[in-house]
Chain A
Amino acid sequence: MAIDVTADLPELLADFGVTVTVGAGTAATTFTGIFQNEYEAQSVYGFDIDSSRPVLTVRTADVSTMTTESTMSISSTTYYVLSRQDDGTGLSTLILGRD
């Protein structure tokens, strides 16, 4: 049976989502996304450097105005958008970097 991710998204976000804050002060807005930050070694020449790959899965509607370099706060850490990948079904994956 196929999984309808879009239909299940509200439940997934409620169970696994974290609060994402965009902007600051009275202008700040929040939405919920599923945040993953798995280990990934970064290689530059002879170096392997301990690192991770932060990825946020969200409703496309929540990030419609976000572009590369847009910033957000997740658990008190500021991230910026390296890449926004809309899947066309209402879901978007944001590849993030630390500010």
Chain B
Amino acid sequence: MANTRQDIVDHFKSQVDNVNGLNVYEWQVTPLMEAKLPAAIVRDTEGAMPTDKEMARRHHYLTIEVDLAASSSTSPSTVRELMASVLSAIGADKTLGGHAYDTTPLSATLMVSEGDQRVCGAQMVFQVKYITSLWAI
């Protein structure tokens, strides 16, 4: 059964996929091979549903997280560039193909992990606002 949340995640992923050289995954839970970096994992996590009492419809505030990772000694600067590119790619269509009425970036945080290679990661959090009928997502 088609649902708006799926359409939004599909469009969100495809917009992130526009970033050059980035491998995009949805809800990846198993370890990634280093050869797959730089990569992004897209997750639709919390979905708040305040009801619009004036009309028979439901507002949705969907949280979408984008985790980014790149390896090598220059990975922090690479990941900063990726963050800027992802932000630009999402900002190019904040309606996500007309399924949302707004998309807002909430935060962008960086961290570094040292294994046999230095890996830099970032987490970007977005809030997507959209409307459905009362009993739909």
Question: A49 touching B32 by the CB < 8 A rule?
Answer: yes
**A46 and B41 contacting across the interface, CB-CB below 8 Å:** yes
Q: Which residues of B contact A47 (CB under 8 A)?
A: 28, 32, 39, 41, 67, 69, 119, 121
Which chain A residues in 41-70 approach chain B with CB under 8 Å?
41-54
A46 touches B43 (CB 8 A): yes
Please give the number of chain B residues whose Cβ is less than 8 angstroms from any Cβ of chain A in the complex: 28
Confirm or deny: B46 has a beta carbon within 8 angstroms of a beta carbon on chain A: no
A94 within 8 A of B: no
What chain A residues lie within 8 Å of B116 (beta carbons)?
Answer: 37, 51-54, 96-98
Q: Are B123 and A45 in contact (CB under 8 A)?
A: yes
- Complex CA gap A52/B73 in Å reads 16
CB proximity of A27 to chain B, nearest CB, Å? 24
Contacts of B37 in A (CB 8 A): 49
Q: Is A18 an interface residue when CB atoms closer than 8 A count as contact? A: no
B114 at the interface (CB under 8 A from A): yes
A40 within 8 A of B: yes
Across-interface contacts of B115 in A (CB, < 8 A): 40, 42, 49, 51-53, 97
Are A41 and B123 interface neighbours, CB within 8 A?
no
Q: Is the CB of B65 within 8 A of A51?
A: no
Nearest B residue to A82, CB-CB = B114
Provide the residues of chain B in CB contact with A41, threshold 8 Å: 31
- Given A45-B67, A51-B119, 6 other A-B residues pairs in contact with their CB atoms under 8 A: A45-B121, A46-B41, A49-B37, A49-B71, A51-B34, A82-B114
In the complex, 11 of the A-B residue pairs with CB atoms within 8 angstroms, ordered by the A residue number, are A40-B115, A44-B113, A46-B65, A47-B28, A47-B119, A48-B30, A49-B119, A50-B31, A51-B34, A51-B119, A82-B114
